[in-house]
Amino acid sequence: MGTLPCCGNKTRLQIRADTELKNFPLYCPKCRQESLIDVKDLQVTVIKREVD
């Protein structure tokens, strides 16, 4: 995966071609925000961003 949807920083999450995620909570420790994402066929879709 490339960058975080909230701040654009790089992520450590590794996604393979056969990876499927649904409602995955992706947390950014730098800006302390969480985003829900879906992943299927290497396509990442942001469902919801939580702003604290």
pLDDT in tens, 23-45: 999 888 888 888 899 999 989 89
The model's pTM is 0.76
Listing DSSP states for 1-52 in one string gives --B-TTT--B------TT--EEEEEEEETTTTEEEEEEEETTEEEEEEEE--
Angstrom distance (rounded) from CA 44 to CA 17? 12
Name the token pair of 52: 């604290």
At 41 the pLDDT is: 92
34 CB neighbour count, 10 Å cutoff: 15
Q: What amino acid is encoded at 14 in this protein?
A: Q
- Residue 8 vs residue 52, higher pLDDT: 8
